[in-house]
Structure 1
Amino acid sequence: MSVNGSTQTDFYTDRASRNPESSETTPLLGNGSVQPRTTGASFASSVFNLMNAIMGSGILGLAYAMAGTGIVGFCTLLVLVAFLAAFSLHLLLKLCDETGINSYEGLGEKALQKPGKVLVGVTILIQNIGAMSSYLFILKSELPAAICSLLGVENTGTVWYENGKLLLVMITVFVVLPLSLLPKIGFLGYTSSISFIFILYFTVVVVVKKWSIPCPLPQNGTRLRGTFEVSNSSASDCTPKLFVVSVKSAYAIPTMAFSFLCHTAILPIYCELQRPSKSKMQNISNIGIGLSFLLYFISALFGYLTFYGHVKSELLLGYDYYLLGDIMVMSVRVAILLSVLLTVPLIHFPARKAMILLLFGGRSFSWRIHIISTLIILSVVLMLAIFVPDIRTVFGIVGSTTSTCLLFIFPGIFYLKISRSSLKSVDSVGALLLVIFGVMMGVISLSTIIITWIMTP
């Protein structure tokens, strides 16, 4: 399961570092265009790579976003964010052609000198820490239920393997840490292909299981063993809402921004493309975003139509009360957990690299710095995953800050600072509007989330 592009970027970089003549680092011509070649990634594989970069843990929070905005409101916002994501990718590709720069940090340095490079590096570091936190949060919430399902027992909270925090610490120490300490973990990048299949399977399960859960939701029911209670529910709760404005609405756009972020991957994918051209890469980005939009919308829609206003902020949690022991739910839960487990160290790789570059520059490899940086980042991520009470908090904070910057604000600012286009051109006006939209949505969403925290007893 990839996280919005960060994993792909350094997977390519790692492969290139082992083979300086590989096609992933094809040089750019003096006029900024990518040098033509006959080897490299095909159109189809590039679309697949981009979709792997886009789709990640955000898909688990989109049904909750729909519950907070309504079906029509959600669809409108999702279309808007997807369109703006495609447009911002267009701006980055155009800058790549004009300047010959093929990294996000390089564009930041070109636009704003060294502060721009540092700003982008810090933003990517925070984004990756937030992404890793969301993945570990999924492990914390889903792993006990998965173990109980496999053992065929009810989660009573009295056995050690039913303690999500304890399991999370054990998994981090004995699995994530050893994999993260590897100096090169490019081989884990191949798991992204498998994780995409898991995402597709997750969507199919959400659609199928919509017909397995009754509505209105029962006030009392039976699990595999014992009883459970849920909130009072009536027939009116089974009516889908077209438009909703509530506190939940503040989490919608940040979650969508978190879900569509792939901007740190787009330029490396462009560079490895067979016979690359901007128009060809733009078509790849449009198709990748369009297909991702389709899977996002289907999973969100059917997840919402299953639970309506009772949908959980992490969709899989909603199935615990009704489908304990269900083979499809059990299998998709295990699949996502395996994907998450192997993806966390992969996301850690670029986060550590950004941290070392920011603090120590381009100095030679040092095991001491490598180990200390790894331990610091994983400690921060683990603390966030343990003490953050809800995954929507991760989506909300990270989505309204770093994701908004990487998706909307930075591409617009970089284009306005670097491009030789007229300020009255369509792209320049669009870049300005992109910046304004990103700032407005980021400030409004973050402010609403913070006010909600303050007012909630």
Structure 2
Amino acid sequence: MEELARESISLLAKPSLDTDIPRLGTFGAIFIMLKSALGAGLLNFPWAFEKAGGVGTAVWVEMVSLVFLISGLVALGYASSVSRQSTYHDVVRHVCGPAVGQLCEVCFIFNLFMICVAFLVVVQDQLEKLCDSIYEAFSGSTEIQYHWYTDQRFTLFILCFVVILPLSIPKEISIQKYTSVMGTLAATYLTVAVIVKYCMQEDIVVVSQTYNSGISSWASMFSVIPTICFGFQCHEASIAIYSSMENKKISRWVFISVVSMFFCLLIYSLTGIFGYLTFGKNVAADILMSYPGDDVAMIIARLLFGFSIVTIYPIILLLGRSVIHNLLLRFWGRFSIVTQSFESRSRVMLTVVWIMVTLLITMFVPDMSKVISLCLIFTMQTEPVPSRISMLLTGWGVVTIICGTFVFGQSTTIAIMEMFDEL
């Protein structure tokens, strides 16, 4: 009985290898990876470029960070191939042992949960500003009369259960390739709009590059690393994407990782450069807030950007839900046989609970900067290195861990100092 329950859990919890299950091709994998990384950080890149002291320093930080990010993606794909595991936490458990695997599950769930909260906070913020912009554009007045149906919390509630919930119920990540294409194009519109606005402006803003020396220069450079890392963060989805691919050759995975990160770098850099050159030191942390509220092109950009964030949420939810769902199926399998109907009902129930809890937290934590700070503090990146890999890669792993530990401490310190300053 126990053996039968264990087999049923393994069949229901893990992605099927049957040919009737939709698998990911190269194109779909690139877009899901791209959409997983191309998120809320896009709005902050012009501000990050200004804070870093100019375009040159910010691009240099991007390039160096990208080396670590791509190497992490390749290592995770290789570890998944060697261990034959299809989820992030299972790979860590197989490579690092049960104790580290359990710790990874806790960190993994908490990290993804807080990212979902951050995304809902961004969507709520965009809904509020979108409503204000539309009202100002049509009425010419900046004072909006309050009605229950104009409250962004009500709109967010409807959005969660009409749009996000149906997109989040499917079990396989491969289905997200269609929404990922639309979400990527929607986010790209913001980049195009920022470039066009820069080219069309009549009064060119003279931007002077700020060159600091000594400790202040290094402090400025490291201060933008959390923003850049948050922008390129997609490692949580990497193993799920790799395990859903038709062609699982490591060379193909390296190609997918490099291409997706290159396009991310292109979109982030163009937005950061032209947004910074347009406003200089006056650029806002949210680049859309730097433009007039009645600008129709930017109203559309805000609407499409909100849609792009909505398309990321189901991917993150699927990853976090898979951990909890697998634990639930294991627990239930101790007392009864896990049936297909129970698997489906429990998956829908976990999806609804996840959305409801993140929605409630969003309504009480309106400050996006605090949420993003928490997400960065509890981000966990594990890069397992098999024993047969050369000493060179072992040394690279040590360097990556040291740099990751430094960024972890620096991000934590900044977040704590900002919280104390507001008290």
**TM-score, normalised via structure 2 length:** 0.80
Does the alignment pair 1:125 with 2:115?
no
Out of 390, 408, 417, the residue aligned to residue 451 of structure 1 is 417
Alpha-carbon distance, 1:292 to partner:
1.2
Alpha-carbon distance, 1:86 to partner:
1.0
* C-alpha distance in 2 between matches for 1:204 and 1:129: 31
The Cα RMSD (Å) is: 3.4
- Match of 1:312, SS? coil
- Partner residue in 1 for 2:184: 196
Q: Report the residue type matching 1:96 in the other structure.
A: S
* C-alpha distance in 2 between matches for 1:163 and 1:318: 23
- Partner residue in 1 for 2:143: 156
- Match of 2:404, SS? helix
Out of 90, 111, 114, the residue aligned to residue 98 of structure 2 is 114
* C-alpha distance in 2 between matches for 1:258 and 1:171: 25
* TM-aligned CA distance change 1:447 to 1:435, over 3 Å: same
- Match of 2:378, SS? helix
- Partner residue in 1 for 2:49: 66
* C-alpha distance in 2 between matches for 1:270 and 1:352: 18
Matches within 5 A, 1:269-348: 269-273=241-245, 275-319=247-291, 322=292, 324-348=293-317
* TM-aligned CA distance change 1:388 to 1:452, over 3 Å: same
* TM-aligned CA distance change 1:155 to 1:129, over 3 Å: farther
Does the alignment pair 1:136 with 2:136?
no
- Partner residue in 2 for 1:226: none
* TM-aligned CA distance change 1:70 to 1:400, over 3 Å: farther
Matches within 5 A, 1:345-356: 345-356=314-325
Does the alignment pair 1:420 with 2:388?
yes
Alpha-carbon distance, 1:192 to partner:
0.9
Alpha-carbon distance, 1:427 to partner:
0.6
Alpha-carbon distance, 1:437 to partner:
0.7
- Partner residue in 2 for 1:440: 406
Q: How many residues align?
A: 395
* C-alpha distance in 2 between matches for 1:331 and 1:339: 12
* C-alpha distance in 1 between matches for 2:211 and 2:65: 19
Alpha-carbon distance, 1:451 to partner:
1.5
Out of 353, 358, 367, the residue aligned to residue 390 of structure 1 is 367
Alpha-carbon distance, 1:196 to partner:
0.8
Does the alignment pair 1:175 with 2:141?
no
Alpha-carbon distance, 1:200 to partner:
1.6
* TM-aligned CA distance change 1:78 to 1:288, over 3 Å: same
- Match of 1:141, SS? helix
* C-alpha distance in 1 between matches for 2:191 and 2:103: 36
Q: What is the identity percentage for the equivalent residue pairs of Structure 1 and Structure 2?
A: 21
Moved more, 128-137 or 96-105: 96-105
* C-alpha distance in 1 between matches for 2:221 and 2:142: 32
Q: Spell out, residue by residue over 1:384-440, the C-alpha distance to the aligned partner (whole angstroms, 9 max, x if none).
A: 4233343232332212331xx22xxx11xx22xx43335xx1111001111111011
Q: Is the 8 A contact 1:140 1:164 kept in 2?
A: yes
- Partner residue in 1 for 2:9: none
Q: Is the 8 A contact 1:68 1:248 kept in 2?
A: yes
Q: Report the residue type matching 1:254 in the other structure.
A: P
**TM-score, normalised via structure 1 length:** 0.75
Specify every segment of 5 or more residues in structure 1 that has no aligned partner in the other structure, as ranges: 1-12, 26-39, 217-234
